[in-house]
Every structure is written in C-alpha cells, then in structure tokens.
Amino acid sequence: MAGPLSHIKVLDMSRVLAAPWAAQNLADLGADVIKIERPVKGDDSRAYAPPFLKDQNGNETKESAYFCAANRGKRSITMNLTKPEGQQLVRELAAQADVLLENYKVGDLARYGLGYEDLAKINPGLIYCSVTGFGQTGPYKDRPGYDFMAQGMGGLMSITGEPDNVPGGGPQRCGVPIIDLTTGMYATIAICAALANRAVTGKGQWIDVALLDTTVAYLANQGQNYLATGVSPERIGNAHPNIVPYQTFNTADGAIILACGNDNLFKKFCEVAGCMEFTTDPKFSTNAARVQNRAEITKLLNAVFAKRTTKDWVKLLDDAGVANGPINNLQQVFEEPQVIARGMKIEMPHAVAGKVTLVASPMRFSGTPIKHEVPPPALGQHTDEILRKSLKKSDAEIAKLKADGVV
C-alpha cells in the first residue's frame, strides 16, 4: 500500500539541511518530491565532505555522505533560476504541486517572480513553506542564519555542556545540527497541518519557519524554568535540571545513564543497588529533596556505581525495570539488537556509488507503511525524466534548454 502522502507533489527548492530534512520527511511519507538544484554545483551540501560515498570498487565518488543524509526519496532536476526560462519552468512545476519548500534569503525568490504571492496566483491551493534563519519579519529578517548561530543566539549552548569551573567546561553546541533538524520537523508538521486545512477549505497558505524561533521553542522546560523564576539556568553537564538522579555515572569500566523519572523508580533502583537507606533519608526521599541536595546524592551514587561494570549494571537494572543505558559510539549503535530489529539501517541502489547504506525513517504505520524506494539522487539525475513526463517537453525543447544553460 502507498504511503500516507502518496497523493502529494512537492517542490524542494531548498539546500543544506533544515528544509531538505522536511522535504525528506514528506518523501518518506510517500510524497513525490522533486528537488530543484543549481546546474553544476547543486545543493551546497554536495560539497560538505569528506566523507564521500565509495563505489563498489572502493573508490571515492563525488557524492557526499552529508547530502545523502537529507535527500533520500527525491528526484533531482537542475535549473538556472537567473534565466527567465528557468523561472518559467518553476512556475510550470508549481502549478502542478501541492507543496513548495524553499530556504532562500527573504525576498530572493520574489525578485524572480517566484514568491508566495506570485505562485499563489497560478496555484491558489499551493502550500508554500519558507525556512530561514530569522523569519520573514523582524529586525534580523535579512541576516543569513545557520544552525550553530541559532544554538548560540537562542540560548541552547548556554545550557549545554559542563560548568565553567570543571575541565572542558563552557558552552557547547549539540553533536548534530539539532536546530536544523528540529526546524525541519516543525516545517513538516506545519505542512501536514496546512494540507489538512486545505482539504477542508481548498486554500493554500504561506508557512514561515525560522531557526531562531525553533531554538527558543526548543528550550522547553529550561525556558519555562527561566520564565517562572527570572533566573537563567546554568550548565550542569549530563545532569537534569529538574530530576535527580537523571544523568551519567562512572562504572568500574566505563559509564552508564540512569534515568529515575519518579520516586518509585528511584526506590526500585536503590533496592536493586543495595542502598535502600537513601530512600528513607529526608535529604533524598523525594525528587525535590534530591534536586536540592544534588551534589551530595551524586557523590554517593558515584561510589555505588563504581562497584560494578557497565554490562553488569545494565543487566541488573534492566531486570529490575529501571530505565538505564550505555553510552554507545556509532558502531555500537548500529550493532544494537534493537536497532537491527527495527530496520534502522537500509541499503539502496545508487546511480553513482552502485549502492548506498542509509539510516531509515523512524516512522511506522500499520496501514500505510513507509517504503524506501528512491535513493538520494545524483545531481540532475532526473532532469530529462521530469521535463519530459511532468512538463511534456519534447526532445527538441529539452535539447534547447540544455544548450541555453537553463537546465
């Protein structure tokens, strides 16, 4: 059975990560996604390398791993938007599309007659999603924006990492571009909501999603902690600001994560760990008390965890139903039996490399299962196909578009 969005056509005019991530989500959900790229260079992330994919002989290709991470399920067409003929091709594709995603600087596409108001005249039902660093309004709207900047400006780095007074302390960015990814997820949700609204009203709309807005929204409980108290939260490493114990602890041979999300779980942990005295001590008997006495309980628990290996602790706590886990490197992640059982690593044919190994979508549907059938495309791999089948261009017209540097 086809995916839940198999009836939807999407134009992906974006590059790098945030908006392409949203378009990839839509492709995973079954949408027909056409990615419009610049001739010769394509998406900027095609140059974000090494590493490059290797072909079946072990030789490096020019296909970056980064690009493959956000572009499965898409077909690629090259198009020169500085030429009127290229702009007209976009209009023709937009007339057939349900969704258009773009992350140009504010006003750039409007200069080519490809802004929301321009395309809505051609296709009133079009869902037009703009993803930028700072949004379509406000004093920063014309500034370029990247994930790293948003993590810093939006406060996320101020609460990520160890305190200044410990080795390695200081603000840290997340190990992946989390704001790009989360902005892509918000864009996906917004697009699906707009499609649902269009099913009732028949009308499209313009969606405005920004990296900085996403970062502020993503502060979640930490943002609310500040709004409730007026006190900026401090960095506390791997600990949780509102729950104790909910952090990493050193074991006899490594480290482990313990997540006692309530007092009952803490009691279960103490019972199996042989430290039930903590549960009757007024300083530790409730979560609020443990938060107030964080340093003392953490020191005591470190001594407890030092008595066993990580493997022993994982088994002991799993058997007791206490949330825990090791800290895996990526090799260990893809060797985890659960990750294997859930099919989170897939192989697909690839036009240049022969085959490519990818991370699968984590979404699971009982009635409209996701099928990964289209690998990340080579640059312009589907140009002729799209021009011929979607836009009904003749061989002579396609040849002229190529000769004129339009595609």
- Catalytically active residues are 180
What residue spans of 277-367 are helical by DSSP H? 277-280, 287-292, 294-305, 310-320, 330-335, 337-341
Is 23 within 8 Å of 12 (Cβ atoms)?
yes
| DSSP state letter for 232 | P
Which phi and psi (to 5°) does residue 264 adopt?
A: -65, -40
73 closest CA partner among 348, 296, 260: 348
Alpha-carbon separation of residue 318 from 192, 297, 322 (angstroms):
38, 22, 6
Structure token digits, residue 376: 């990340």
The one-letter code for the residue type at 387 is L
Distance CA 365, CA 293 (A): 44
Could you tell me where the DSSP H helices lie in 178-293?
A: 178-201, 211-218, 220-229, 263-273, 277-280, 287-292
Q: Are 70 and 46 in contact (CB under 8 A)?
A: no
CB 96 within 8 A of CB 9: yes
Task: Locate 194 and state its tokens.
Answer: 């707009």
Residue at 404: amino acid letter? D
